[in-house]
Amino acid sequence: MTSTSVLPADADAGPTTPEQLRELYTLMAAVRHIDTAAIAWQRQGIIPGYAPQLGQEAAQVGSAYAVDRSRDFVFPTYREMGVARTMGLDMVNYMATHKATWHGGMYNPLESRFAPIQAVVAGSVLHAVGWAHGQTLSGESGVALTYFGDGASSQGDVHEAMNFAAVMKAPVVFFVQNNGWAISVPTERQVAGGSVAARAAGYGMASRQVDGNDVESVLHATQWALAHCRAGSGPVLIEAMTYRRGPHSTADDPGRYRTLDEERTDAGEDPLVRFRTRLLADGTADEPFFTEAQRSAEREEETIRAGIEALGPRPGAEMFSYVFQEPTPDLQSQAAAWRKESDHV
């Protein structure tokens, strides 16, 4: 782990209580079950596509758990289902994007503090820095938390965003989930030096590399980063070292670029199994707790699936309200004709 922060490692963190540890496990179990189910939904034709996050539950749940939803704002990619679930979003409304029912999700970003899903690789970091700089200009204390992967870290947008954030001391946490693969290219072949966190020094930015499969370590690292930003010390880069245990997306075949034996060896211990073992060992949880966590996850998955299947198509005329800020005269006439035709259906 590396750090260049002026704040102590445990700043604004405090001990994690047994109740919080159990809640973290319950969230991880729910995320794992929804994620596994979403792949099945795609295969069954319920949703057209999905980006799995198997193996990244600790990184997503731990980081999102640290967010202050009264003032902070999260800027996700297309792979942050675990973050959305931890922040309490309506998962049917979130999954509307994956069903191609609604661009960015049907949830309210302002109320949820979770920005629309960003499909453009590294696109979310630019929005995060802009919002964070706005907090500085308005004198408010919110911090932006933006997610991207090791592959996305090679995009020019990331470097521009980090440079601007560092120069302006914008309160933004760049959270990199280094899952070892940029689709089919391993980290060592596309990240010079092998570490995204090391790049922060070039921008005079605080950084930390953390075990992304240890949910409590991720939680404390994110708490530290948020405190650093709130103190006016500028942005932070966190690199959570984890592993993508499945395909990049439901359209990907990881067998084309790695073997199952390589996957088993490189992935290490499953983050859920690891956390369960720890909670059992220190007496924080018992077998009935884990049984109920699994049952709760299964019930939730069934509810979400039913909600997704019940989603109908959105009215086509909505594109005139949400896509174009100032429609041209031709578009205005098209919208009027569309609404007139819809009224007669």
- Residues serving a catalytic function are 244, 248, 257
User: Do β-strands 206-211 and 236-241 pair in parallel, antiparallel, or remain unpaired?
Assistant: parallel
**Strand, helix or coil for residue 204:** coil
196 CB contacts (<8 Å, ≥6 apart)? 150, 153, 176, 178, 237, 239
In whole angstroms, give the CA distance from residue 215 to residue 220: 9
Identity of the amino acid at 278: R
User: Do β-strands 172-178 and 144-149 pair in parallel, antiparallel, or remain unpaired?
Assistant: parallel
In whole angstroms, give the CA distance from residue 64 to residue 127: 18
Which region, left, alpha or beta, applies to residue 12 given φ > 0 means left and ψ of -120 to 50 means alpha? left
Give CA separation, 134 vs 203, 238, 261, in Å: 20, 22, 48
Report which of 249, 265, 257 is spatially closest to residue 54, judged by C-alpha positions. Answer: 249
Burial class (CB in 10 A: 0-12, 13-18, 19+), 288: exposed
H or E, element range at 165:
helix 156-168
Tokens of 86: 């931890």
296 CB contacts (<8 Å, ≥6 apart)? 26, 29, 30
Report which of 133, 122, 140, 34 is spatially closest to residue 75, judged by C-alpha positions. Answer: 122
**Strand, helix or coil for residue 200:** helix
Residue 314 C-alpha from the chain's centroid: 26
Identity of the amino acid at 5: S
**Strand, helix or coil for residue 327:** coil
Tokens of 70: 């009264």
